[in-house]
């Protein structure tokens, strides 16, 4: 029964600031998550055309991503876009819109995907991010993991057209994105401390942090009043762009599009993600919070 509840909670996460807090412990966490007032419009691409792909390819290369990882990433992009026949995608370049999140014809996209891929559910944000960042993330103790919430990721990896991760990489992936036990509280600082403690036990480290970052949206789920966990419900890759902006690369969900978005600063990225994922009202659990590598995004060193 408990497993059924957990699966239901995770499916809810997959389908979808806080007030200032200070904890004077070993992490000295001081959280200040802004309200969603800085972002009025977005500029994005679905990487359909050659020009937008070349721009993102250059940014990834400048960030130190290997040629193989870049090649594998764009093979996935083209496979998805071709499978859904570019339905409701930006056909050329980057488009600016007076909204904070694109709207897609998700029903038609899913129908076209399922018709061509009856077994393979596609790849999601976590698989895509690790595909690009696996050379910059080390997990010293990958045996520490709880993969119960990664059942859809495991199904995707099992049915991938090609083997995307080695056995060692898969173990690191599962440990990195495992759920983390936490306290049943709305206090974001407490949850960030739990993430840091968990990642210290796993000896998770990020390299090349000045050029490439993992941006994680953590969700808090309450299984019972005494049982809670944290889970990375969405994640993407942040790199500098050639025009002095930030480029955020993400796969929205298994059967939802790839996106590359341009932001003037990290606060705009923070607002974009909160506008999209902080959508519950009056909930008993904590609001989502965002990490850049191993630190809160708005207090990143």
Residues 90-146 have pLDDT tens digits of: 999 999 999 899 999 999 999 999 999 999 999 999 999 999 999 999 999 999 999
Whole-angstrom distance, CA of residue 76 vs CA of residue 198? 31
- Looking at residue 224, its pLDDT comes to 81
- Looking at residue 243, its pLDDT comes to 87
Is residue 157 within 8 A of residue 190, CB to CB? The reply is no
Beta-bridge partners for 293:
none
Domain-embedded: residue 179: yes
Domain-embedded: residue 23: no
Whole-angstrom distance, CA of residue 161 vs CA of residue 177? 22
**Structural domains counted in the chain:** 1
Whole-angstrom distance, CA of residue 214 vs CA of residue 291? 8
Domain-embedded: residue 13: no
Whole-angstrom distance, CA of residue 137 vs CA of residue 152? 22
- Looking at residue 300, its pLDDT comes to 59
Domain-embedded: residue 278: yes
Q: Which residues of the chain have pLDDT under 50?
A: 1-28, 30, 32, 34-36
Domain-embedded: residue 125: yes
The burial class, CB within 10 Å (0-12 / 13-18 / 19+), for 91 is exposed
- Looking at residue 93, its pLDDT comes to 97
- Looking at residue 33, its pLDDT comes to 52
- Looking at residue 223, its pLDDT comes to 82
Domain-embedded: residue 10: no
C-alpha 29, offset from chain centre? 22
Domain-embedded: residue 245: yes
> Residue 190's domain spans which residues?
42-296
Domain-embedded: residue 178: yes
Whole-angstrom distance, CA of residue 227 vs CA of residue 149? 15
- Looking at residue 301, its pLDDT comes to 53
Q: Which two tokens stand for residue 27?
A: 């992490």
């Amino acid at each position: 029964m408990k497993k059924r509840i957990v699966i239901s909670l995770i499916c809810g996460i997959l389908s979808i600031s806080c007030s200032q807090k200070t904890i004077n412990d070993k992490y000295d966490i001081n959280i200040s998550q802004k309200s969603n007032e800085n972002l009025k419009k977005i500029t994005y691409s679905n990487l359909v055309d050659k020009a937008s792909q070349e721009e993102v390819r250059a940014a990834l290369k400048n960030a130190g991503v290997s040629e193989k990882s870049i090649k594998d990433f764009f093979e996935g992009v083209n496979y998805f876009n071709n499978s859904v026949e570019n339905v409701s995608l930006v056909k050329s370049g980057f488009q600016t819109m007076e909204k904070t999140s694109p709207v897609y014809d998700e029903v038609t996209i899913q129908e076209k995907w399922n018709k061509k891929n009856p077994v393979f559910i596609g790849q999601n944000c976590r698989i895509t991010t690790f595909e690009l960042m696996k050379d910059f993330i080390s997990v010293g103790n990958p045996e520490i993991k709880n993969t119960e919430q990664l059942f859809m990721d495991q199904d995707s990896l099992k049915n991938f057209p090609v083997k995307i991760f080695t056995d060692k990489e898969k173990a690191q992936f599962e440990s990195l994105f495992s759920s983390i036990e936490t306290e049943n509280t709305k206090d974001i600082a407490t949850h960030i401390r739990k993430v840091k403690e968990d990642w210290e036990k796993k000896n998770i480290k990020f390299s090349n942090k000045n050029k490439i970052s993992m941006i994680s949206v953590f969700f808090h789920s309450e299984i019972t009043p005494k049982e809670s966990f944290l889970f990375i419900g969405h994640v993407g890759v942040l790199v500098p762009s050639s025009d002095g902006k930030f480029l955020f690369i993400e796969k929205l969900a298994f059967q939802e599009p790839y996106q590359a978005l341009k932001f003037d600063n990290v606060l705009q990225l923070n607002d974009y993600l909160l506008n999209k994922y902080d959508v519950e009202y009056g909930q008993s659990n904590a609001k989502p919070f965002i990490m850049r590598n191993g630190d809160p995004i708005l207090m990143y060193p």
